[in-house]
Amino acid sequence: MPELPEVETIVREMREASLLNLSIKKAEVFWERSLKRPSPSDFCRQITGQKILKIDRRGKFLVFTLSEHTLLVHLRMTGKFIIGGDEIHPHERIRLTLSDGRILRYEDQRKFGKWELVDKAESVLTDLGIEPLSAEFTVGTLLAFLKAHSRALKPFLLDQKTIAGLGNIYVDEALWMAKVHPLRLTSSLTKEEAKLLHQAIRHVLTKGIENTGTSLGAQRANYFSVSGRRGSNQDELKVFRRDGLECPRCGETIIKITVAQRGTHICLFCQK
């Protein structure tokens, strides 16, 4: 569930928490399958003693540049980081003890999240598409992508190989804002629609970051930032999980349909 704005918030909070330049004193793996590679014993042995040089985001991946390797973490549905707290939480899967004594805990209730310790980040990240908030992502780039494909808009936007970082929440919001139906064929969008969609994608992501992410519900499995803070972007959502409520633009009832096996929230009046 964490998408670009949530992962970006986590990265920023980790930097603010002064994790940079600390070393990893000890690593413990409580759930082996949270590690994609290497094996738990190799992971613990290799990562111990390495310094955290950089913390970045690429798409929905957290990228930790360490002194020898790169650690890539994909949170999937319910993965989250928490700094501090001694007791092992029932959903805690991996824990790193840092050189200043603090503990970086990784919890993941549904266990879909994955950690990988690799020599080169590119070996994993090479398939990712463009960063939607980068200068390279222009209306022209988007229009070229749209014309190069002939598929439904929503699965196209969710495909990390084209544009990296968008997920269900921000795609539904962007499509509503741009007034396009999620099942429209990409190649059918006009230049004007592409321009609106480009603007909408940037807008919803930027807002999401400003609001430090979207936290739906109050349960522990939901998105919380590293400091345990809830985001506030859920208060700004216009259609996502608002089926049965009024469209804030036209007053028609928002409905929920299924597109590419994903619950999709639209206003049929605004999104033809």
Q: Are 258 and 183 in contact (CB under 8 A)?
A: no
According to DSSP, the residues that pair with 74 across neighbouring strands are 61, 114
Q: Which stretch binds Zn ion (CB under 5 A): 109-117, 144-152, 163-171, 262-270?
A: 262-270
Query: In 239-272, which positions are buried (b, 16+ CB within 10 angstroms) versus exposed (e)?
Result: bbbbeeeebeeeeeebeeeebeeeebbbbeebbe
CB of 196 to Zn ion, least distance (A): 15
| Residue 262 falls in the annotated catalytic set | yes
Does 267 interact with Zn ion (rule: CB under 5 A)?
yes
Which sign, positive or negative, has the C-alpha torsion 103, 104, 108, 114? negative
Work out how close the CB of 268 gets to Zn ion at its nearest, in angstroms, rounded to a whole number: 8
Q: Is 245 in the site for Zn ion (CB under 5 A)?
A: no
* Catalytic position from the list 3, 13, 92, 107: 3
The residue (of 148 and 250) whose beta carbon lies closer to Zn ion is 250
Quick one: which segment of 57-65, 145-153, 181-189, 260-268 binds Zn ion (CB under 5 A)?
Answer: 260-268
Cα dihedral across residues 136, 8, 213, 233: positive or negative: negative
Q: Which of 60, 80, 114, 184 is catalytic?
A: 60
Q: Considering CB under 5 A, how many residues would be counted as binding Zn ion?
A: 7
3 in catalytic set: yes
Backbone angles phi, psi at 205, to 5 degrees: -70, -45
CB-facing half-sphere around the CA of 240: CA atoms within 13 A: 21
Annotated catalytic sites, by residue?
A: 2-3, 60, 262
Residues of this chain that interact with Zn ion (CB under 5 A) are 247, 249-250, 252, 267, 269-270
